[in-house]
Structure 1
């Protein structure tokens, strides 16, 4: 894959080739067993699980985690503890780490997050998805009705692995025109277990939708999707309807596990499905 800038992170991300039988088994566990638990129970269990990583003793696994998951031994030097802390006090602090300096470039459109681009297609080419007893179009992800998003827009879905940076930033400079919270499930996000439709979780999981109107009057639709072990999705300070946002201004952060979907008036120029994208590099 060619990109216009060097990687700032560690893009050693493996797209797992899961055998069909195993993918079907995991899909069954996610959708039919875990997915049929009442949503409040899913959230309670996820919150309980994520609370383990808030304990002070959990910080002891950070160094080992970095050695196992990053080829760059100086990876952590690019980041700082969150919320003005002087050190990482728990593994959760590492998970929601902040950049010391955001990667910047002159591109008018940038990626809002870091992870695996697991889905990319024109809105008009995307199939309907059955969620329990409902048939839903891609506009459902963004809490909108059919045809509210232009068919020539491009839909992308970036899966954030546990090792990835877990803050979402604005891809453009513009004005927030809508914020919507959709309660929902917290089914497994791993795209390789859903094979032909890696975005199934985005249709049914809890999410925040944020619309941003750019300087040319075009709306960019973002959907910030939670998954199992997500304690919460937290919007950043001053993110509200009518707010002016600068490109790369932080929109939200995740406490473990996430996906970020976007419907944009332009298509990615340097990336295709199953490639790695990073915050701030040209979209």
Structure 2
């Protein structure tokens, strides 16, 4: 066995200290903030411009069904919540880069999105329908949109279910949000807006009407950073409690009870967090 010199021992000790520090930092990086359960407060992305679901009020606060659901989940997790606006086109990005912890913003669960983020829920199953001008009588279902101008919101998949899945030959007109779609519909720039019935219900007025011919199921999920399975399971538990204690029924009636939509008050079938 070769005896180490004083200088050699010093180098070896320094190397071991450095190795230990690196290991500690690596462990901290892997563990710190890896789950929403590790956080004291949650930053939650919601919509700022969807009546009944997520609206930013003049004083800066957010209100709507999605906001109330998100607040309930945060309370059940024992976390404070701060709400921020998130557009449809940014939902995956903000979860992947960690700037937002949860997204509760009419975020339909799809196979493609599940490759990028983890979904809790769904917390509600909506149905895609169509909104037209009140005087429109020729559109009674999605097939009647053939040859007409359909609003296409950046980051939303709703238009795909019309043009690609059902092969309806519509002319797409891009918009940044559904509130912009509604302005375009009223102005005659588009002939229809097709998306989830809860979204449409919030925008329906004396000038605009829902066709009431649903043709898909839209499973609203809670977006979570990919891989946070513990957080996902905790969110699912909170959603279950929300239905069992009557809160879901209360919130649905609060925001959509006068819409005429047939609301569902039973716990949705979860996707599973694995």
TM-score calculated relative to the size of structure 1: 0.22
TM-score, scaled relative to structure 2: 0.23
Which structure would you say has the larger Rg? Answer: 2
**Bigger helix fraction:** 2
